[in-house]
Structure 1
Amino acid sequence: MHGQAVSSVIHMCCCPAFKRSPDVHISTEWGIHMFKKDWIRSLSAIVLAVLLTLVPGAIGAHAADMYPLSITDDLGRKVEITSKPRRFVSLAPSWTEILFELGLGDQVVGVTQFCDYPAEAAKKTKVGGFSDPNIELIVSLQADVVFGTTMHMKEAPEFEKRGIKFVCQNAQTVRGVMDNIMMAAKIAGVPDRADKVNGNIEKTMAQVTKAVAKIPVKERLSVLYLVWDEPVMSVGPNTLISDMITCAGGVSITRDASSDYPSYSLETIVAKNPDVILAPHVHSGGGLDPATLKSKAGWQTIDAVRKGNVFLVDDNLVSRPGPRVGEGVMEFARALYPELFK
């Protein structure tokens, strides 16, 4: 069809009506050259106009061909997307960042009160907090797909009952985050956009990998990621933060934990004696103050505290499984090995 249309345009431009009149007198080679040049410009402009009309239709047809679509979310649930979704609700800051980074911000109709990045997200309708989404409000927003986490599995049947697809995120590695980004892009019918977003993550990861490769494995720093200090709580091996620490060249002292967020006695931490302690800098306040550890009984004997190697890292970068995950790994690497990134 497209070829026939272009052919018709070319035929039209070559017909006698488009040829110069016998009354036109061109007496020099320069005149002939200019006439041909103008004729070619006219033909090119017409062909381009036809192509610009046809291509969007071709793109739309291609997107429609992607559906119905079957995807498997992070909990192994099969989700059938029967037609191209138009309206999305995000129940986690990470999903909000993913959708906006994929250029789908205009299709996001609802977010949580904690979705603060990018700035445009703050203008969206608030559908609740982390664990208390307003189902009726989400239904009224005519959402096609709700992007949530394991925290929202109890609401999932309610969404499905109302014909709203629910997709669950539970990324435990950097690669898992990149898979989430591709999954969202496929659901929205824009898989090519995920390649660009993931390419940026890979570029940052490659910079970190190249830098920390200079450090022998036996000389890599042991790390305690301190979620909280009273009681002592850290991260287990099956968490994104643990994977990010490893990618940044650190060795988590809680990598052998049997739970995702294990608690420890101070005596255990003293015995493990980490080289570095990292804790989240919480933008809303209420996080750990590194200076206070020196004044707490028992902590002073730990190398990290004694040597002043207690650092805060941006909570939004290291705890959100979204498109800034590469920046989060870089944040860890700079805290652990600042000399490598001067």
Structure 2
Amino acid sequence: VRVVKDDLGYEFRLGAPPRRIISLAPNITEILFALGLGEQVSAVTRYCDFPAEAARKAKIGGLTDPDIEKIQSLEPDLVLAYRGNPLGAVRKMRELRLPVFVLDEGSKLNNLIEMISRVGRVTGREPEAEALVRRLREEMEGIKSRLRKTGAGLRAFLLLPGEGLWTCGSQSYVHDLLEQAAAVNIAAGIPRPWAPFSREGLLAEDPDVLVLLARDPRAFEEARNRLRADPRLRHLKAVRLNRLIFVDENKASRFGPRLVEVYAELARALHPECFKENSGHQPS
């Protein structure tokens, strides 16, 4: 019997491929379905809405309030937990001898590759994980090769949805996404994943472009209109010149395979000149 350690350092025994898997996070659910494990997924959180089939699975609560009794009643042979699940809940599941394997969120796009490989290993889907990893790496390399033609990176500010000016600091994978897309994150000096940014700081930095995470194009338009109506922020260069980029919040807020799509879309929006038909090979 092979033994591997999860991201909390606990040992996990690898036996027969699991037939009843419970996912405690949306990104884990996406990875499982991408590996062809949809039928083996018994239950997911109420936030697991991609792919569409995931939304039809039984629900075991949310990311921070998993229903442990419900999880136990489903008799899973694998529970995939994630950063954001309360440690107390994870401990309780271990006490109940539930087969829990915990995965931590990475701070780099490349950490996603490692996570997919680990999920493939504990689910007995290593060949499928290798194929997915190979495809994602090819797509990432295709984008990177395009971006070699660009010069100095545009100075960017990423704005999260909601009140205030929340953004990503240097410990967030979204910061790495910006850097990979040849942008300079003006909030890189903040040593946290997510943090509020002051209006004064944003006005002083006056970035070249604003990247807006939004639920859908309509929410993006509403955010853009709020910026244009703001008596101070409307003077930002990016607002005046309409250098505002829409990024799908659902895709970008989950550390899963669709992040590579976000990387491609962000790179194209920031550097369209690198993606013209006559500029070389298209990304895979």
Cross-structure match for 2:145: 210
SS in 2 for 1:262: strand
User: In structure 2, do the counterparts of structure 1 residues 169 and 232 end up closer, same or farther at CA, with 3 Å as the change threshold?
Assistant: same
Give the stretch that moved more between structures: 76-85 or 272-281: 76-85
Structure 2 Cα separation of the partners of residues 264 and 314 of structure 1: 21
Question: Of 150, 156, 168, which aligns to 1:223?
Answer: 156
> Where does the alignment leave 5 or more consecutive residues of structure 1 unmatched?
1-66
- Secondary structure of the corresponding residue to residue 234 of structure 1: strand
Q: Tell me how far apart the structure 1 counterparts of residues 155 and 240 of structure 2 sit (CA, whole Å).
A: 15
Shift of residue 283 of structure 1?
4.6
**Matched residue, 2:226:** 292
The question of whether the paired residues in 2 share the 8 Å contact of 1:220 and 1:249 is answered with yes
Which residue of the partner structure matches residue 26 of structure 1?
none
Residues 40-93 of structure 1: CA distance to partner in whole angstroms, max 9, x if unpaired? xxxxxxxxxxxxxxxxxxxxxxxxxxx3321332xx423312523332111111
Greater RCO, CA 8 A, separation 6+: 2
How do 1:102-141 residues align onto structure 2 when only pairs under 5 Å count? 102-141=35-74
Cα RMSD for the two superposed structures: 1.8
Whether 1:306 aligns to 2:234 is: no
Shift, 1:185, TM fit: 0.5
TM-score, normalised with respect to structure 2 = 0.90
Question: Residues 83-117 of structure 1: CA distance to partner in whole angstroms, max 9, x if unpaired?
Answer: 23332111111000100111111111011111111
Alignment CA distance shift 1:168-1:285 (3 Å): farther
Partner residue, 2:12: 80
Tell whether the 8 Å contact from 1:87 to 1:143 is kept in structure 2 after alignment: yes
TM-score computed with the length of structure 1 as normaliser: 0.75
Query: Could you say if the C-alpha distance between residues 180 and 121 of structure 1 is closer, same or farther in structure 2, counting changes exceeding 3 Å?
Result: same
Q: Is contact 1:211–1:340 with CA below 8 Å preserved after alignment?
A: yes
Q: Provide Cα deviations, 1:288-331, integer angstroms capped at 9, x if missing partner.
A: 62122011021122111111011211112222111122111112
Pairs aligned (count): 272
SS of the residue corresponding to residue 96 of structure 1 reads helix
Q: 2:110 aligns to what?
A: 175
> In the aligned structure 2, how far is the partner of 1:339 from the partner of 1:87?
48
129, 134, 137: which one aligns with 1:199: 134
Separation in structure 2 between the aligned mates of residue 131 and residue 334 of structure 1, nearest angstrom: 35
Contact 1:294 1:305 in 2 (8 A): yes
Instruction: Point out the structure with max Rg over C-alpha.
Output: 1
| Superposed CA offset, 1:213-251 (max 9, x none) | 1112xx210110101464211001111111111111111
Displacement after TM superposition at 1:267 (Å):
0.5
Letter in 1 for 2:138: K
Moved more, 180-189 or 254-263: 254-263
* Identical counterparts, % of pairs: 31
Amino acid in the other structure paired with 2:191:
S
Aligned residues of 1:290 and 1:311 also touching (Cα < 8 A):
no
Equivalent in 255, 267, 270 of residue 188 of structure 2: 255
- 2:281 matched residue in structure 1: none
Over 4 Å off, 4+ runs: 283-288
1:337 alignment partner in structure 2:
271
Residue by residue over 1:269-294, the C-alpha shift from the partner in whole angstroms, topping out at 9 and shown as x without a partner, is 11111111011121598666212201
Unaligned 5+ segments in structure 2 are 277-284
Change (3 A) 1:283 1:195: same
1:341 deviation in Å?
2.5
User: How far does residue 148 in structure 1 lie from its aligned partner after superposition?
Assistant: 2.3
Using the TM superposition, give the Cα deviation of residue 167 of structure 1 relative to its aligned residue in structure 2, in angstroms: 1.4
CA contact (8 A) 2:161 2:213 kept: no
Paired residue secondary structure (1:289): helix
> What CA distance in whole angstroms lies between the structure 2 residues aligned with 1:155 and 1:105?
25
Range with bigger deviation, 131-140 or 314-323: 314-323
Question: Do the aligned partners of 2:168 and 2:195 also contact (CA within 8 Å) in 1?
Answer: yes
